[in-house]
Each structure stands twice: as C-alpha cells, then as structure tokens.
Chains A and B, each alone.
Chain A
Amino acid sequence: MGIGWAHMGTSVVASFLASLVECVEALTVILAVGSVRGWRSALIGAATAIAVLLIIIAALGAALTRIPLPIIQLVVGTLLLLFGLRWLRKAVLRSAGLIALHDEQAAFAKNTETMRNLGTGHTAWDKVAFAAAFNITMLEGTEVVFIVIAIGAGGTGMLLPASLGAVAALLVVIALGLILHRPLARVPENTLKFTVGVLLSAFGTFWVGEGMHLAWPAGDWSILILIAAYLAIALVMVPICRGQSQAPAFSERQS
C-alpha cells in the first residue's frame, strides 16, 4: 500500500503543479482576448480546445495500454527526462538571476494590445477571439496532455491520479480567473517550475531505470530519494551558477 501511495501522491502533485503553470499561461491570454474582443467567442474557443485535448488523452491512453510497459517506461521516461531536466535547468538559472522571469502582467498587456490592433470585436461571432483562445489552449494544453500521459504511463492505474492532478489545476485556475478577472501575477511561477522540474526529473530517471530493468536500491521508494537528491543538487547549483556568472542579479520582474 505504501508503495502505491508514494507513486500516486507524487504523481498527483507533479501533474497538478505542472498543469497549474501551463493553465496560468493560457488564462493570461484568454483573459486578454475576452476582455478586448468579448467573452463568448473566447470561451467557446478555449472550451473547443479542451474538448479536442480530452479526445487526444482518451485515444492515447487507450493506445498506451497495448504497448509493453518497459517500452513505455523507457520512451516516456526519456521524454520526461528531456522535459523535466530542461525545466529544472531553466528554473536554476532563473533563481540564479541569469534568465529573466516570466511576467504575466507584461504578457497580458502585450496580448491585449495585439487584440486591439486586430480590428473590431464584440460581434456575435468573433473568429479572431475564437482562434486566439483555441490556439493558446491547444498549445498550453498539449503540454498538459504530455505531462499527464508521461506521468500516468509509468505504471498500471497511474493515468487516473495524473489526470486528477491536471483537472484540479484547471479548476483552480478557472475559479481564480472567474474571481479575479485579471492575470495571476502573484503565482510564484519559478518556484512552481523549480518544484515541477525536480519531480519530473525524478520520475523520468525512475521510469528509464525501470525500462532498462535496473534495480533501484530502495525499490519504488527510490522515487522519493531521487526527488530529494535532485532538489538538493538544484538548490546547491543556484549559488554556484550565480557565482560563476559574476554578474549583478536581475530584478525579479526584469524582462
């Protein structure tokens, strides 16, 4: 039972946090589109993209059950490592002040300006608003789909907890969007990306090891050890990278 919870708990958390980051980015654009060109077409565009993504998840989820588990673990683990280590590397460099942080307020302002420049909206059916909302939801949603499938593909019955994490993130962001009606500028995006990078790198390493038939010293609990190890390495790397660059730190919101 303990092994199941170690896997399931970390799957839900990893999927929730990773999806939260992507949903916040999509929300920023949808808010900009909706507030400038009208909500109807923007919301229909976003809802259509979510429906397409759900069909993709259902189709890929069913297809994955036909492939032998070690092959899935190796392939998905490799992709998860490329994805997770890339996020972790970037998060370390951002924390060290070497890469500028993502600014949701600036992104909102830029998207609002773009929407205004694309002519008049607020008609019954606004193609521009629909297309913009559909595109951003598809783009960010594709990342969420990959994360859910990658985390869920590592073991039998793991797709459900991974999906629940993503759905929870979507609901949280929708609720906050309805309440606030402005971009979620106070979300500690780099802290989230740092955490998600650690979790996905640990999952990726674990799945690849399983796919190669290696034996993790602590069995399934090794995933928690891998999380702790990646976190420790990443935290130590922040001051090292800052020292190596010998450059004044960028401000929190410099772009």
Chain B
Amino acid sequence: MNWIKTILREIYGLFVDDGTFALAILIWLSFMRWTASHLPLSPATSAIMLFAGLALILIESAVRFARRKRQTIRKT
C-alpha cells in the first residue's frame, strides 16, 4: 500500500509546493466569488480583476523567492 501513499503525496505535490502561494490563490478565488455575488461590479470588471489578482500573486511569489535566494546566497 506504500505506492498509494506515494501517489497521494504526488497528487498533493501537483498543486502545492509553496504553501503561501497556493493559499494566496485560494483566498483570491474565494474573495472573487464573494464579490461576484455581493458587490455591484459588472461581470466583465470582475473577470479582469480575477486575472489581475492571480497575475499579481504570481509576480509577488516569484519575486519573494528571488529575494529569499539572494539572502541565502549572502549568508553563505
């Protein structure tokens, strides 16, 4: 049954390697779902906001990784 555990671990790894990154995506999607039904935004504006938020999360996460890498290199 070890291979089932390995496969389950691999499946989890498919979606998550940086927990903060994955969590930020989920929070943004939940927020957008809430705004779609509670705020008087046009559906087109919401669609653009959805993409813009995801793009920002991607940029922030990659830049954060790069900065962390720089700090690691400086320490060593």
Contact = CB atoms under 8 A, between A and B. Distances in A.
A247 B73 contact: yes
Contact of B69 (A135, A226, A233, A247): A247
A216 B44 contact: yes
B29 A245 contact: no
Interface residues of B, number: 40
Contacts of A245: 66-67, 69-70, 73
Interface in A39-89: 74, 78-79, 81-83, 85-86, 88-89
A105 interface: no
Interface in A115-161: 131, 134-135, 138-139, 142-143, 146
A86 B50 contact: no
A212 B46 contact: yes
A205 B42 CA distance: 17
Number of chain A interface residues as a range = 35 or more
A229 B53 CA distance: 13
Given A82-B16, A138-B3, A241 B55 contact: no
Interface in A72-116: 74, 78-79, 81-83, 85-86, 88-90, 92-93, 96, 98
A237 interface: yes
Given A89-B21, A229-B55, A247-B70, A135 B6 contact: yes
Nearest to A77: B29
14 contacts: A81-B25, A81-B54, A82-B25, A86-B14, A89-B18, A142-B11, A208-B29, A208-B32, A212-B50, A213-B36, A214-B50, A226-B51, A244-B63, A245-B67
Contact of A143 (B14, B29, B73): B14
B43 interface: yes
A82 B22 contact: yes
Contact of B29 (A81, A216, A217, A244): A81
Contact of A93 (B16, B44, B51, B62): B62
Contacts of A215: 42-44, 47
A132 B32 CA distance: 44
Contacts of B33: 74, 212
Given A138-B7, A139-B7, A212-B33, A85 B25 contact: yes
B11 to A, nearest CB: 6
